């Protein structure tokens, strides 16, 4: 993805006879990424090639997991000591190495990357900052936006996932960054001298050289496209191959799949994904219920709107039907595929002794939800009894699913699936889903876009326990704004804004603000009163 | 033991006459001390001079061979008081600490030391923690030098100059009977370079010799009438001696042509930045040969009047490059010029910004403007009228998408669960006034915790909550102090004060076995055996000794539930007086450094080792991120699933997880969700364990297969 070719970068590289020229290299990293090692390597390779070099850093507490910067200057050794600068300056950096994509963005913002001069070498992987992680929705910055600006700001941009490359080679990112630097040809040193530097450093040499070589080759080849890690396509286009089971089950599945084919083409993929989820969650009959619900939306839909209503319904109806209850969690945690995934993530084979502990904390609400509807409702109607039971039930339970007792317990709970439709939680959820879905479909004839947004508000309901309750209350508050919006041209737009505000923070402060805005224009009379 | 080991590097301290030293500025300073025949060294760690203390600690064998006494001082005040050894005895002593927080703490001892004066050279190396990477309030050391009249050196940031300045400093101190400070900035401390070494010198008089032959001189003790005489002595004797020495030794340097219409005066530490600006303006070459006369103040206090006035002679304008404020040097020069009826225009903070770091861009812009205004003729045409400036793209997409990345708790940090529990107790009992302290635990003020309202100084967290002690309030204050701060100052100023004044607040002492924020140095309560220091003094015993009645000790901070309960109890108990919770778990950074090689060796030797880590079931996680709002751990992050039905990224734990347990504990204590699991890999299990494991797996596999037969099994997405 080298925007301008490596050959061009090489042509611009300082020449050997460019004796008095100082070359500056700045390294931006997240504390703990090993920027110090890379800095030492760069100094070593420069010195080995007859250069004088100076490096500086800002070690200290300010570095702990925060953004940090290292700096190297070098100049061909003429026998005289050059005066090097101790820190990078705007417009005065030849090579900027960023060990994470947003740090590349930061270096551009700080003016260290300029189109007349700077070769920007960055890993395209992301390490999310705390502020990005704590949003209840998706709080992450856009990698594409950052790459796009970086490309404009740099003379040459070299960007690919150097972290993954390093881990694959059993090394750390400093090795692959060093490889990309060598491959870029921006410093007048041979590949061999870089490699010799790694060898001389003495630790984990083989793995470092592997990562170095992979990044070097990749930089020189400059082959792959320049997007941030692309989102792969939806899988499962071959519907039946994705499912295994008895002939009877497969026959039923095929029947349902063929019903999705009758849906408008643009809704196929989402409907199939939804169907898969619902059948996996419960059974074929539940899948049929899902399709019946979906077909109601399709009946109201038309091509004029690109089938947005159908697609949105396909997505959120599936999610709504698959509410998270104890049975589902127990089911997911006892599957063979799950055991395999845990071992894959930990990086051990099937033979290794692996102890797996699950963290559960059921409250009376969850227990009641898992009881037959009548019994559950009976208990919930009696606060004293509920409290008494909760005091006995409500505590953390650590369950060993590698052990027979723990596994069998969860396996048994997962078996309750058969009776799920009779449990209290199902009654509650079905009623809620029904109200929401009816509301959306009833709105559709009058305001199609608003109906789509109502469907999408289902996104707000997620999580367990308090988190679930908080999501539900946000949903209620957003939907509660509908009377203020109905009939307005921009009703859909406002509902979307409310939903987005609700996903911004945990307490709903942004949502409160947005609701006040809506109230101010929707009810000017009461506002004036 | 410190976070970074210098065991290999300290061998460079043995280099002898005429050898070449390659390494960091910090190490060069240490070598220079030994070359100067220093008799004792001490100090308190803190960026940017932490590593100087670490180097010395790792160099104890070498120091011992030379008869040099080394101490890891309890505080900067202790360190400075130690320089009392140079008052009566001709022994050279050096101490080090960060400034200005260290100079603040040291100032009582510093004023006393400066009043009586010294016989042996007394050097204070202050790490000027200013500008990029700084973790403290932005102030200058300069004012301390002026108020106590100790001399302040500010060497050009390269190794030969630093080393020469250390030598000069000792001699200057002895020639003027005055302690000398040398200020070094962070990048100067960590700059890599080289210099030619000399052999180490054994101190002519050691501390042992002094102990055997005690001396006293009443005239050197700070008590009337001597103290009145000291003030006159400073002005009449020591100052002129210092000025004489600085001139004779040529401590300040001149570069560039003898004459010119303009000149630049600068602190030594600014030299490289000034040269870079001149290089970029075509006024200097790579090697610092410049067309502009430069006057470099490697000694910034005292200033040498006639040197400066000579420099100004014949020049239209002179600019002073002095970082930080107030502009003490510029003011002093203005005073000199005015009194000498000088006509040279004095510039400084009118071109350069009054506040903030003098970065490359600031220097380029300010010096460029100065030259254009006062001597444009020396600029070549290209610089005088530059072509179209380089066009930068619109930065809005970056401003919108690049997140701030302030420092935070490390992966597996034992302080994280303490603040998770505090957040939970606040959810239950409401918000409280929380006072923070200096140390890693101050990261609590950042997201995701956002706890803590003030920080008033090292060990002063509880002291800073002392006003909040009212019988009219139903709520108590909560204050934090780390183990480093506790031993530095907290035991008396915070705990003793709270006991004496019957403070009813809750005090949490964060005990992670090290002075962790400064690089993991040992302190009194460290659990490790330290060859040369006395450790393992429990904080609880000290607190009880101070008279605290309500003390709880939590031995595993990761127990969020217990932490939560204990905090609740402390906030609600009827017991009066300070409620002290000591929350102890080892700093994870140091623990990993200590344990990793041990575990690897154990696995290799075939011993049974259990290695934990955490994971998230992505299909159970709903992407609400409530767990991250109680964690912020670098290894717990978000990832996008390849599932079109999902809007929000789910939680994911990467391979850097150290299995501290916080995720599971928090999920349990805050009743979050059942997505987390702990997976413990058993290395080298026993035969029986392997057998039982196979058996269990077979049964589990059979149950799983049985269930799968009754349903459709989909390929994993």
Report the CATH fold assignment for B608-709: Alpha-Beta Plaits (3.30.70)
DSSP symbols for A204-262: SHHHHHHHHHHHHHHHHH--S--SSSPPPPP---STTTTEE--HHHHHHHHHHHHHHHT
pLDDT band for position A1 (50/70/90)? very low
Beta strands B262-267; B550-554: pairing state: unpaired
Assign domain B416-590 one CATH number from 3.40.50.970, 3.40.50.1820, 3.40.710.10, 3.90.1150.10.
Answer: 3.40.50.970
The Cα–Cα gap between A496 and A513 comes to 14
What integer pLDDT is reported at residue A18 of this predicted model? Answer: 59
Whether A287 is covered by a domain: the verdict is no
C-beta of residue A443 within 8 angstroms of C-beta of residue A495: no
Domain end call among A163, A189, A221: A221
d(CA A500, nearest CA chain B) in Å: 12
The reply to whether B447 touches chain A by the CB within 8 Å rule is: yes
Domain end call among A221, A245, A270: A221
Burial of B601 (0-12, 13-18, 19+ CB in 10 A): exposed
Q: Give average pLDDT by consecutive 10-residue segment, chain B, 717 residues.
A: 81 96 95 98 93 91 95 97 98 97 97 98 96 91 97 98 98 98 95 95 96 96 96 98 98 97 98 97 96 98 98 98 98 98 98 97 97 94 74 94 92 97 97 96 95 96 97 95 97 98 98 92 94 95 98 98 98 97 96 93 97 96 94 94 95 94 94 95 97 96 96 86
A439 Cβ contact partners less than 8 Å away, ≥ 6 residues apart: A454, A479
The residues that bridge with A355 in the sheet, in sequence order, are B680
What integer pLDDT is reported at residue A469 of this predicted model? Answer: 92
DSSP symbols for A351-392: TSEEEEEEEE---HHHHHHTSBHHHHHHHHT-HHHHHHHHHH
Give yes or no for a cis peptide into B225 (omega within 30° of 0): yes
Q: What is the ipTM of this complex?
A: 0.94
What region, left, alpha or beta, does residue B538 occupy, with left being phi > 0 and alpha being psi -120 to 50 degrees? beta
**Total number of domains in chain A:** 2
C-beta of residue B381 within 8 angstroms of C-beta of residue B295: no
**Residue range A310-336, pLDDT digits in tens:** 999 999 999 999 999 999 999 999 999
Partners of B632 on chain A (C-beta within 8 Å) are 130, 133-134
> Helices in B38-75 by DSSP H: which ranges?
50-58, 60-66
Q: Which helix (H) or strand (E) holds B683?
A: strand B676-683
A308 vs B388, residue with greater confidence? A308
**Residue range A194-227, pLDDT digits in tens:** 999 999 998 899 999 999 999 999 999 985 544 4
Domain end call among A190, A221, A252: A221
Beta strands B650-653; B636-639: pairing state: antiparallel
- For chain A, the helix, strand and coil percentages under 3-state DSSP, each to the nearest 5: 60, 10, 30
Residue span of the structural domain in which A463 resides: 424-529
Q: Is the pLDDT of residue A16 over 80?
A: no
Residues in chain B: 717
**Residue range A477-526, pLDDT digits in tens:** 999 999 999 889 999 999 999 999 999 988 899 999 999 999 998 765 54
The Cα–Cα gap between A453 and A449 comes to 6
**Residue range B101-143, pLDDT digits in tens:** 999 999 999 999 999 999 999 999 999 999 988 889 999 999 9
Q: Is the pLDDT of residue A236 over 70?
A: no
The Cα–Cα gap between A187 and A272 comes to 53
**Residue range A365-394, pLDDT digits in tens:** 999 999 999 999 999 999 999 999 999 999
A430 Cβ contact partners less than 8 Å away, ≥ 6 residues apart: none
Partners of A284 on chain B (C-beta within 8 Å) are 712
The reply to whether B273 touches chain A by the CB within 8 Å rule is: yes
What are the tokens at A361? Answer: 């904390």
Q: Is the pLDDT of residue A463 over 90?
A: no
d(CA A127, nearest CA chain B) in Å: 8
* Average of per-residue pLDDT across A267-283: 96
Report the CATH fold assignment for B252-384: Rossmann fold (3.40.50)
The Cα–Cα gap between B270 and B131 comes to 13
Residue B40, SS3 per DSSP: strand
Residue intervals of chain B classified under CATH 3.40.50.920 are 252-384
Whether A259 is covered by a domain: the verdict is no
Residues in chain A: 529
A215 Cβ contact partners less than 8 Å away, ≥ 6 residues apart: A160, A162, A165, A166, A175, A176, A177, A178, A179, A180, A183
A 322-341 residues with CB below 8 A of B? 324, 329, 332-339, 341
CATH number, residue A116: 3.40.920.10
CA angle B620, B625, B629 (to 5 degrees): 140
Query: What superfamily would CATH give domain B18-202+214-248?
Result: Thiamin diphosphate (ThDP)-binding fold, Pyr/PP domains (3.40.50.970)
Partners of B712 on chain A (C-beta within 8 Å) are 243-245, 249-250, 253, 279-280, 284
d(CA B614, nearest CA chain A) in Å: 9
Total-model pTM: 0.94
Q: Verify whether the Cβ–Cβ distance A273 to B610 is below 8 Å.
A: no
Q: Which helix (H) or strand (E) holds B304?
A: none
The reply to whether B282 touches chain A by the CB within 8 Å rule is: no
Whether A377 is covered by a domain: the verdict is no
């Amino acid at each position: 993805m080298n925007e301008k070719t490596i050959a061009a970068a090489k042509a611009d590289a300082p020449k050997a006879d460019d004796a008095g020229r100082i070359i500056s290299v700045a390294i931006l990293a997240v504390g703990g990424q090993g920027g110090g090692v890379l800095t030492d390597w760069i100094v070593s390779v420069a010195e080995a090639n007859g250069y004088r070099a100076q490096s500086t850093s800002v070690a200290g507490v300010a570095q702990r997991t925060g953004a940090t910067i290292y700096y190297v200057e070098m100049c061909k050794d003429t026998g005289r000591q050059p005066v090097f600068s101790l820190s990078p300056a705007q417009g005065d950096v030849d090579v900027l190495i960023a060990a994470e994509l947003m740090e590349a963005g930061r270096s551009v913002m700080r003016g260290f990357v300029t189109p007349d001069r700077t070769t920007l070498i960055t890993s395209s992987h992301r390490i999310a900052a705390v502020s990005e992680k704590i949003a209840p929705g998706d709080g992450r910055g856009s990698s594409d936006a950052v790459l796009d600006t970086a490309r404009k700001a740099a003379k040459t941009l070299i960007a690919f996932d150097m972290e993954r490359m390093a881990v694959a080679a059993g090394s750390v990112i400093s090795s692959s960054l060093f490889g990309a630097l060598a491959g870029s040809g921006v410093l007048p040193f041979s590949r061999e001298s870089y490699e010799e530097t790694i060898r001389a450093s003495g630790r984990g040499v083989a793995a470092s050289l592997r990562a170095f070589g992979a990044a070097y080759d990749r930089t020189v080849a400059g082959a792959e496209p320049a997007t941030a890690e692309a989102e792969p396509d939806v899988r499962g286009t071959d519907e039946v191959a994705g499912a295994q089971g008895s002939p009877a089950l497969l026959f039923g599945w095929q029947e349902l799949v063929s019903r999705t084919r009758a849906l408008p083409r643009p809704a196929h993929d989402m409907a199939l994904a939804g169907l898969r989820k619902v059948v996996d969650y419960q059974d074929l009959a539940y899948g049929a219920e899902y399709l019946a619900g979906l077909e109601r939306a399709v009946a109201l839909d038309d091509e004029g709107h690109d089938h947005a209503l159908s697609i949105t319904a396909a997505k959120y109806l599936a999610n709504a039907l698959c509410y998270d209850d104890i049975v589902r969690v127990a089911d997911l945690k006892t599957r063979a595929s799950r055991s395999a995934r845990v071992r894959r993530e930990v990086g051990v084979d099937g033979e290794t002794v692996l102890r797996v502990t699950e963290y559960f904390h059921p409250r009376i609400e969850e227990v009641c939800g898992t009881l037959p509807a009548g019994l559950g409702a009976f208990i919930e109607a009696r606060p004293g009894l509920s409290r008494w039971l909760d005091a006995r039930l409500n505590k953390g339970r650590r369950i060993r699913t590698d052990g027979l007792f723990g596994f069998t317990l969860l396996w048994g709970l997962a078996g309750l699936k058969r009776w799920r439709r009779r449990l209290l939680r199902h009654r509650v959820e079905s009623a809620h889903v029904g109200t929401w879905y009816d509301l959306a479909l009833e709105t559709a004839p009058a305001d199609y876009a608003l109906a789509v947004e109502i469907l999408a508000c289902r996104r707000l309901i997620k999580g367990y326990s308090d988190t679930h309750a908080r999501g539900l209350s946000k949903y209620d508050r957003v939907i509660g704004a509908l009377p203020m919006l109905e009939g307005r041209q921009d009703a859909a737009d406002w509902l979307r804004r409310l939903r987005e505000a609700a996903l911004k923070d945990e307490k709903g402060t942004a949502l409160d603000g947005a609701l006040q805005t809506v109230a101010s224009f929707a009810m000017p009379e009461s506002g004036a009163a | 033991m410190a976070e970074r080991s210098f065991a290999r590097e300290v061998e460079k301290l043995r280099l002898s006459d005429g050898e070449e030293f390659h390494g960091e500025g910090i190490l060069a300073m240490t070598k220079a001390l030994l070359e100067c025949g220093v008799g004792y060294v001490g100090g308190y760690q803190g960026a940017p001079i932490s590593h100087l203390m670490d180097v010395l600690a790792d160099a104890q064998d070498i120091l011992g061979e030379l008869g040099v006494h080394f101490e890891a001082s309890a505080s900067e005040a202790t360190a400075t008081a130690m320089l009392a050894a140079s008052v009566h005895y001709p022994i050279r002593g050096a101490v080090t600490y960060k400034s200005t927080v260290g100079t603040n703490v040291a100032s009582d001892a510093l004023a006393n030391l400066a009043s009586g004066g010294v016989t042996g050279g007394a050097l204070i190396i202050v790490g000027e923690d200013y500008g990029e990477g700084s973790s403290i309030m932005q102030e200058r050391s300069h004012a301390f030098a002026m108020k106590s009249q100790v001399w302040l050196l500010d060497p050009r940031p390269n190794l030969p100059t630093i080393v020469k300045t250390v030598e000069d400093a000792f001699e200057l101190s002895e020639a003027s009977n005055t302690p000398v400070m040398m200020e070094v900035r962070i990048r100067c401390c960590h700059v890599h370079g080289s210099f030619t070494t000399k052999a180490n010198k054994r101190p002519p008089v050691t501390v042992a010799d002094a102990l055997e032959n005690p001396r006293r001189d009443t005239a050197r003790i700070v008590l009337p009438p001597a103290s009145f005489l000291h003030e006159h002595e400073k002005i009449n004797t020591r100052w002129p001696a210092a000025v004489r020495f600085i001139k004779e030794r040529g401590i300040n340097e001149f570069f560039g042509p003898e004459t010119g219409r303009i000149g630049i005066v600068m602190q030594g530490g600014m030299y490289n930045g000034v040269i870079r600006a001149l290089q970029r303006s075509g006024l200097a070459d790579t090697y610092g040969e410049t067309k502009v006369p430069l006057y470099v103040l490697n000694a910034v206090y005292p200033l040498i009047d006639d040197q400066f006035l000579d420099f100004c002679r014949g020049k239209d304008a002179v600019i002073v490059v002095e970082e930080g404020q107030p502009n003490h040097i510029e003011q002093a020069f203005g005073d000199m010029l005015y009194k000498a009826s000088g006509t040279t225009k004095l510039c400084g903070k009118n071109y350069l910004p009054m506040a903030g770091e003098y970065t490359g861009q600031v220097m380029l812009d300010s010096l460029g403007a100065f030259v254009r205004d006062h001597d444009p003729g020396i600029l070549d045409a290209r610089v005088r009228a530059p072509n179209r400036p380089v066009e930068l793209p619109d930065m809005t997409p970056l401003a919108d998408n690049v997140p701030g990345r302030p420092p935070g708790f490390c992966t597996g940090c034992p302080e994280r669960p303490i603040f998770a529990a505090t957040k939970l107790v606040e959810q239950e009992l409401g918000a409280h006034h929380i006072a923070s302290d200096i140390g890693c635990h101050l990261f609590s003020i950042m997201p995701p915790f956002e706890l803590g309202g003030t920080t008033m100084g090292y060990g002063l967290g509880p002291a800073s909550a002392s006003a909040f002690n009212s019988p009219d309030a139903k709520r108590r204050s909560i204050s934090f102090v780390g183990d480093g701060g506790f031993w530095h100052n907290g035991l008396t100023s915070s705990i003793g004060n709270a006991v004496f004044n019957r403070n009813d607040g809750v005090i949490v002492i964060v005990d992670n076995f090290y002075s962790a924020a400064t690089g993991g140095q040992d302190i009194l309560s460290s659990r490790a055996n330290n060859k040369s220091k006395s450790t393992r003094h429990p904080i609880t015993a000290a607190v009880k000794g101070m008279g605290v009645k309500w003390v709880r000790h939590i031995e595993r901070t990761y127990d969020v539930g217990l932490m939560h309960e204990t905090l609740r109890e402390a906030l609600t108990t009827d017991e009066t007086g300070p409620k002290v919770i000591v929350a102890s778990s080892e700093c994870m950074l140091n623990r990993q450094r200590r344990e990793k090689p041990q575990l690897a060796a154990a696995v290799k030797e075939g011993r049974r080792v259990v290695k934990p880590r955490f994971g998230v079931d992505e299909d159970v996680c709903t992407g609400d991120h409530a767990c991250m709002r109680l964690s912020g751990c670098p290894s717990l992050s978000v990832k996008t699933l390849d599932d079109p039905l999902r809007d929000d990224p789910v939680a994911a734990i990467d391979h850097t997880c150290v299995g501290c347990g916080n995720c599971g504990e928090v999920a349990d204590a805050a009743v979050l969700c059942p997505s987390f699991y702990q997976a413990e890999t058993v290395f080298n299990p026993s035969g029986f364990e392997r057998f039982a494991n196979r058996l269990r797996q077979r049964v589990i596999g059979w149950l799983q297969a049985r269930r799968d037969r009754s349903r459709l099994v989909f390929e994993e997405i």
